[in-house]
Amino acid sequence: MDTNPKRANAMDAYWMPFTANRHFKRNPRMIAGAEGMYYTTSEGKKVLDGTAGLWCVNAGHAAPRITEAVKNQMTELDYAPAFQMGHPKAFELANRLAELAPGDLNHVFFTNSGSESVETALKIALAYHKAKGNASRTRLIGREKGYHGVNFGGIAVGGIVNNRRHFGSLLTGVDHLRHTHDLERNAYSQGEAEHGVELAEDLVRLIELHGAETIAAVIVEPMAGSAGVILPPKGYLKRLREITREHGILLIFDEVITAYGRLGRAFGADYYGVEPDMITTAKGLTNGVIPMGAVMISSEIHDAFMTGPDHMIELFHGYTYSGNPVACAAALAALDTYREEELFERAASLEGYWAEAMFSLKGLPHVKDIRCAGLVGAVELEPVADMPTKRALDVYLRAWDKGAHLRTTGDIIAMSPPLIIEKQEIDELAGILAESLIA
Ligand code: PXG
């Protein structure tokens, strides 16, 4: 490998995110192109995208309407200042999202990523309580195994140990609910898991411990993605909603993965029938094409800020690229594509076929659980003794050689294909995974 950073194709300069850099650079997997369901590698090999990029390319790669919209926007208006200045597409997009969002989540704050959406929602939660005269509500509650991006608020409320342990004291005043991963009682679940509703009572325990008047918000993924697809137990999210409502605590759903059709509905909140006070999103908002996130916010929260003198800034928060015109154009085109190609409905109609394909892997070597919801699937494997992550990584590498791209987290294989997937491609993906488990 050429490691001289002064040469164009040397690999050392790029410090890759969440990657085993030295391992990757010894044996790189390079993508040169992508269209529809497939990547093309730099050697010209076609690889089925079993994960919609990183859970984001819901309409498939190079969706023509989105590509066109981005090109056009670049020449029409490339950038407009985001503070004290507007452009029509940001308002149009906010209206479209408010219409799509459940209940009275009628307001939208734009960010550039899932991590920023999380920081935004947490800050709004704190500032909301202060605006309402409840300044003692400063505590934030997350959940073990939760993933809320990589910024400081997100890793503080998050519960993935490796994402936290190297980064000092994080935020103070944070606590965590217990996770709901329970293979003994819930192996081979679909949609929701049968057992574990009582884990929502953990929130009552934390309220008794800290006092409700100190707690601002609870943030959870309705279905935990990054930790390896952990489905909520039946009734669990509803119970969290009841407890938070009863105690004046805001409920934030982190839907960076579950929003925009992944579960066959616009939001996980729709799929599970529970309405939070805020929803954080990113990824599928623009089909992954341009970085963008959006936080959906209830009227109750938004209106609490709209009280002081009207020349004053109501929320001291925002990003240079909030509502960037090119990102807005990409998002509007993505929403058009989802609607016109009926991709959310398509995901819902494939849910059963998908689950059958996933469950057909039951009984293959080292498989100890399979979990599905919408077009998400996970296969949990027995780890190799004393070598955690090795089993799944080996399966991943074999699948790549056989022409499919999967995700691994620990010893769990996760899949979340573009919503345009055809039945024969579901068969292809499950077939490659089956062979990779056996070989
Ligand atoms: N919240 C949730 C629930 C997420 O899944 C983020 C926040 C952060 O988003 P950004 O855009 O800042 O990365 C995420 C991101 C994986 C995987 O394979 C998952 C994510 C990102 C990359 C890989 O599990 N989730």
Model confidence pLDDT, tens digit, residues 355-372 = 999 999 999 999 999 999
User: Residue ranges of the alpha helices (H) in 187-319?
Assistant: 202-210, 236-246, 268-272, 299-305
pLDDT for the residue 8: 65
Segment 70-85 shows an average pLDDT of 97
16 CA to centre of ligand 1 in angstroms:
16
pLDDT at 5 > cutoff 70: no
Separation of CA 283 and ligand 1 centre (Å) = 8
Cα 219 to averaged position of ligand 1 atoms, centre (Å):
15
> 113 CB less than 6 Å from ligand 1?
yes
Instruction: Give 16: exposed, middle or buried? Use CB within 10 Å, 0-12, 13-18, 19+.
Output: exposed
CA distances from 105 to 59, 294, 324 (A): 24, 12, 22
Is any ligand 1 atom within 6 A of the Cβ of residue 257?
yes
Ligand 1 atom closest to 282 (CA): 11
Band of residue 111 on the pLDDT scale cut at 50, 70, 90:
very high
Tens of pLDDT, residues 332-360: 999 999 999 999 999 999 999 999 999 99
The minimum-distance atom of ligand 1 relative to the CA of 283 is: 11
Nearest CA, atom 22, ligand 1: 54
Please give the backbone phi and psi of residue 368, each rounded to the nearest 5 degrees, phi first: -120, -10
Find all residues with CB under 8 Å of 39, minimum gap 6, and list them: 31, 33, 46, 47, 49, 61, 405
Q: What is the pLDDT of residues 33-70, one digit of tens each?
A: 999 999 999 999 999 999 999 999 999 999 999 999 99
CATH H-level, domain 5-59+341-438: superfamily: Aspartate Aminotransferase, domain 1 (3.90.1150.10)
Q: Kindly indicate the confidence band of residue 20, based on its pLDDT and cuts at 50, 70 and 90.
A: very high
- If one residue of 18, 113, 150, 226 were mutated to test the ligand 1 pocket, choosing by the most ligand atoms within 8 A of its CB, it would be 226
286 within 8 A of 325, measured Cβ to Cβ:
no
Selection from 321, 296, 342, 337 nearest residue 97 by Cα? 296
Of ligand 1's listed atoms, the one at least distance from the Cα of 291 is: 11
pLDDT at 47: 98
* Domain layout of the chain by residue ranges: 5-59+341-438, 67-340
Please give the DSSP secondary-structure letter assigned to residue 383: P
416-428 confidence digits (pLDDT tens): 999 999 999 999 9
256 lines ligand 1 (CB under 6 A): yes
pLDDT averaged over every residue in the chain: 97
In the predicted structure, residue 1 carries a pLDDT above the cut 60: no
| Distance between CA atoms of residues 118 and 125, nearest Å | 11
Give the contacts of 46 (CB within 8 A, at least 6 positions apart): 38, 39, 40, 403
Residue of minimum CA distance from atom 15 in ligand 1 = 149
Query: Which ranges of 114-180 does DSSP label H, i.e. alpha helix?
Result: 114-131, 152-157
pLDDT at 3: 59
* Dihedral sign computed on CA atoms, order 145, 21, 378, 61: positive
Decide: 114 in ligand 1 pocket, CB within 6 A. Answer: yes
Q: Compute the half-sphere exposure of residue 428: CA atoms within 13 Å on the CB side of its CA.
A: 18
pLDDT the model gives residue 284: 98
Place of tokens 């850099």: 21
Ligand 1 center–CA 148 separation, angstroms: 7
Please give the pLDDT value at position 439: 77
Cβ pair 294, 108 in contact under 8 A: yes
> Averaged over 91-100, what is the pLDDT?
98
Under CATH, which number does the domain 67-340 receive?
3.40.640.10
**Which atom belonging to ligand 1 lies closest to the Cα atom of 114?**
9
| pLDDT at residue 182, rounded to an integer | 97
Mean pLDDT of 159-179: 97
Q: Which atom of ligand 1 is closest in space to residue 280's alpha carbon?
A: 1
Calpha distance 162→409 (Å, rounded): 12
Task: From the CA of 113, give the closest atom in ligand 1.
Answer: 11
Report the separation in Å between the CA atom of 149 and the middle of ligand 1, taken as the mean of its atom positions: 6
Q: Ligand 1 atom 14: the closest Cα is on which residue?
A: 149
Tens of pLDDT, residue by residue over 191-232, are 999 999 999 999 999 999 999 999 999 999 999 999 999 999
In this predicted structure, what is the pLDDT of residue 6? 64
Q: What is the pLDDT of residue 296?
A: 98
